[in-house]
């Protein structure tokens, strides 16, 4: 028998703590797991990246962070994709996520590609578009590799209108298409006549009107307005309602002065489109990551994108994609009659928002996001806190009233992701997996760990080489 009182702190497997507790003794349980699941090669890489290589990594990360948090992206223009991405070639579609061949493209993205081919006038109908795509008659390129990000199952032709967002200090530009709005739309994987007509409407009507409005005003401080939106319950990914409304009220006089049938049609489009700000915020986020990714030797993620088949990440300082299978969207709410069986995997480039302190990182301030992650604001706060565990800093521009005005987490460090086994959570929509009916729900996707492990090992190789 022990004479003194036994004081137990159990680190790791809770079985031991349970055993002690059953004997009526107090026990402190510390939730600790073997880093990187105990994979020795990964543990060795982590040991180097936190040890001998850490000075180089930390210095690089500091510069990456300065760029992610410090750049000031301004909306300066709306132009056709061919004018802003001239290197893409005339018969090219820029699509979401990592590079992919037609044979591997998922159902909703195939439909979106066919709709874009018809809208561009490269084919007279969907069947001809399908043959053209199947025969390699249209080049498919990741938007991310051309300074652009596209939401959900987007495939963007050269005539589509794109936002031009610039950081004047660094001279960095990035692009995103004008959002297609709700309903029968190609970015939701629809290829109906209405979806094709929407693409033509954006090109012929809304694009030119939006360009004129942007020209009439001072360049828009995209994240200045987004910071206000976060105070009003937006996460800027699943929900952009407040920020959209702030923008639209500011544009009101221009829209009325432009008037005419084009002005009226654009007004109707804006009035019914509470996700309008999404792609403006995405272009701004891409401006930051485009500048940040030029820094070598960093462990911070600067690309995170999905094509519905694969989920890919890239670290600052590397053009190499690390890919894994696209995950399902698990914390979800579905339209009636829909569910996991009818849901396509996670898709779109919008996860760039999670890399700059928005989306899942800003969950704590958003009642709309709370509905998906457990229902209470405490659940939403936990999502932000979990993101903070894998991030190196707090945003100086996006602050959360519900967390005493702390900044949202920014700078996803692949070392922390792999060490803790916690990957970013991405707030997103869900598309039908195969019948072309479009959005079936919305929820939160958890990024797959494998691509982060791969990126970590590659960083270790580059630093050891």
Binding residues for its own copies, rule: CB under 8 A, are 231-233, 241-242, 244-246, 248-250, 252-253, 255-257, 259, 263-264, 267-268, 270-271, 367, 370, 376-377, 401-402, 404-405
Shortest separation between residue 252's beta carbon and its own copies, angstroms = 5
In this complex, which beta carbon is closest to its own copies, that of residue 255 or of residue 463?
Answer: 255
Q: How far is the CB of 268 from its own copies (least distance, A)?
A: 5
Rounded to the nearest angstrom, the gap between the alpha carbon of residue 275 and the centroid of all alpha carbons in its chain is 14
Q: Check residue 356 and report its DSSP letter.
A: T
Q: Where are the alpha helices (DSSP H) in 187-233?
A: 193-201, 207-216, 222-230
Of the pair 246, 325, the CB lying nearest its own copies is at 246
CB of 244 to its own copies, least distance (A): 7
Q: 3-class DSSP state for residue 309?
A: coil
User: What gap in Å lies between CA 74 and CA 226, rounded to an integer?
Assistant: 12
As measured in angstroms, the least distance from the Cβ of 335 to its own copies is: 21
- Closest contact distance (angstroms) between CB of 78 and its own copies is 18
Structure tokens, 374: 């457990």
User: Which is nearer to its own copies, 144 or 366 (by Cβ)?
Assistant: 366
Determine the straight-line distance between the first and last CA of the chain, rounded to whole angstroms: 57
If the CB atoms of residues 378 and 461 are measured against its own copies, the closer one turns out to be 378
Q: Six-digit token pair at 310?
A: 């694969």
**Contacts by 121-127, CB closer than 8 A, 24 or more apart:** 122/91, 122/157, 126/191
Query: Nearest distance from residue 162's CB to its own copies, in Å?
Result: 23
Residues 143, 141: Cα–Cα separation, whole Å: 6
Supply 451's token pair. Answer: 């691509």
CA distance linking residue 357 with residue 301, whole number of Å: 12
CA–CA gap between residue 21 and residue 198 (Å, rounded): 63
Residue 163 CB, nearest approach to its own copies (Å): 19
CB 254, min distance to its own copies, A: 9
129 Cβ contact list (under 8 Å, min separation 6): 113, 114, 115, 117, 118, 122, 123
3-state secondary structure of 336: coil
Nearest to its own copies of 223, 251 (CB atom): 251
Give the nearest distance from C-beta 352 to its own copies in angstroms: 25
- Least distance (Å) from its own copies to the CB of residue 179? 15
Rounded Cα distance between 15 and 57, Å, is: 37
Burial class of residue 232 (count of CB atoms within 10 Å of its CB; 0-12, 13-18, 19+)? middle
Q: Tell me how far apart the alpha carbons of residues 251 and 206 are, in angstroms, rounded to a whole number.
A: 14
Q: Are 207 and 82 in contact (CB under 8 A)?
A: no
In this complex, which beta carbon is closest to its own copies, that of residue 376 or of residue 396?
A: 376
**For its own copies, the closer CB: 264 or 450:** 264
Angle at 117 between CA 112 and CA 118, to 5 degrees: 100
User: In degrees rounded to 5, what are phi and psi of residue 334?
Assistant: -110, 155
Buried b (16+ CB within 10 A) or exposed e, 237-255: bbbbbbbbbbbbeebeebb
Which tokens belong to 247? Answer: 């923008």
User: Least CB distance from residue 93 to its own copies, whole Å?
Assistant: 32
Tokens of 17: 């703590």
Beta carbon nearer to its own copies, 331 or 379: 379
**Of 284 and 369, CB closest to its own copies:** 369
Measured from the CB atom, the residue of 126 and 246 that comes closer to its own copies is 246
* Residue position matching structure tokens 């939701």: 188
Question: In whole angstroms, how close is the CB of 377 to its own copies at the nearest point?
Answer: 5
The residue (of 94 and 370) whose beta carbon lies closer to its own copies is 370
| CA–CA gap between residue 370 and residue 388 (Å, rounded) | 17
**Residue whose CB is less far from its own copies, 35 or 219:** 219
């Amino acid at each position: 028998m022990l004479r003194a009182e036994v004081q137990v702190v159990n680190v790791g497997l809770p079985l031991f703590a349970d055993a002690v507790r059953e004997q009526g003794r107090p026990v402190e349980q510390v939730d600790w797991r073997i880093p990187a699941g105990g994979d020795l090669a990964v543990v060795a890489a982590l040991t180097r990246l936190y040890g001998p290589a850490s000075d180089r990594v930390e210095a690089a990360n500091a510069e990456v962070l300065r760029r992610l948090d410090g750049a000031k992206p301004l909306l300066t223009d709306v132009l056709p994709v061919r004018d802003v991405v001239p290197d893409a070639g005339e018969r090219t579609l820029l699509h979401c996520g990592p590079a992919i061949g037609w044979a591997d493209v998922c159902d909703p993205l195939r439909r979106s590609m066919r709709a874009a081919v018809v809208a561009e006038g490269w084919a007279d109908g969907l069947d001809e578009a399908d043959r053209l795509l199947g025969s390699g008659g249209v080049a498919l390129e990741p938007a991310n590799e051309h300074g652009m990000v596209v939401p959900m199952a987007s495939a963007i032709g050269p005539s589509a209108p794109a936002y031009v967002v610039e950081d004047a200090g660094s001279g960095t530009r990035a692009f995103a298409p004008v959002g297609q709005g709700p309903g029968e739309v190609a970015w939701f994987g629809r290829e109906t006549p209405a979806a094709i007509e929407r693409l033509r409407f954006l090109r012929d009507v809304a694009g030119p009107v939006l360009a004129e409005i942007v020209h009439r005003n001072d360049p828009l401080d995209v994240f200045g307005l987004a910071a206000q939106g976060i105070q009003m319950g937006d996460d800027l990914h699943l929900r952009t309602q407040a920020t959209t409304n702030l923008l639209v009220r500011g544009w009101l006089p221009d829209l009325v002065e432009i008037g005419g049938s084009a002005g009226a049609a654009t007004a109707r489009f804006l009035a019914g489109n509470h996700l309008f700000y999404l792609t403006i915020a995405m272009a701004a986020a891409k401006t930051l990551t485009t500048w940040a990714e030029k820094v070598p030797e960093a462990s911070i993620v600067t690309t995170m994108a999905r094509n519905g088949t694969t989920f890919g990440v890239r670290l600052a300082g590397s053009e190499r994609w690390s890919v894994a299978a696209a995950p399902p969207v698990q914390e979800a709410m579905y339209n009636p009659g829909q569910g996991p069986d009818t849901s396509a995997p996670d898709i779109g480039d919008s996860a760039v928002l999670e890399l700059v302190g928005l989306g899942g990182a800003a969950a704590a301030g958003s009642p709309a996001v709370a509905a998906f992650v457990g229902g209470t604001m405490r659940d939403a706060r936990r999502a932000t806190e979990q993101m903070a565990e894998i991030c190196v800093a707090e945003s100086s521009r996006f602050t959360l009233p519900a967390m005493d005005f702390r900044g949202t987490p920014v700078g996803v460090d692949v070392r922390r992701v792999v060490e803790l086994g916690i990957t970013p959570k991405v707030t997103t929509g869900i598309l039908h997996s195969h019948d072309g009916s479009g959005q079936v729900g919305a929820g939160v996707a958890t990024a797959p760990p494998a691509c982060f492990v791969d990126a970590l090992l590659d960083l270790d190789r580059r630093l050891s080489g």
